[in-house]
Amino acid sequence: MFKVDNYYLDVDKVSKLEDKEERQRIHNYYMDMLHSAHDNRDGVAKSLFHTLYNNEYLKEVRDEKIDKILS
């Protein structure tokens, strides 16, 4: 199972969405992913993770640290 601790919601990207309902939906997906992972519902958590990650709403902490070191 992936570690949800390694990822966070890209709030900047979400806040740029024009549709308020879409912004809320993304936040709900993220919260549902966290709750599902906490409740050991791995299938649900993975599905939500892939939805958010593939649409670039999640950032990886590791990548952010590497970018800071290299810049």
pLDDT of the chain, 71 residues: tens digit per residue: 568 889 999 999 999 999 999 999 999 999 999 999 999 999 999 999 999 999 999 999 876 656 667 77
Place of tokens 């024009």: 18
CA distances from 62 to 4, 8, 32 (A): 12, 11, 23
Q: How many helices (H) and strands (E) does the chain have?
A: 4, 2
Predicted pLDDT at 38? 93
How far is residue 64 CA from its own chain's centroid? 14
- What's this model's pTM, rounded to 2 decimal places? 0.84
Residue span of the structural domain in which 35 resides: 4-70
Tally of structural domains, the chain: 1
CA distance 30 to 19: 17
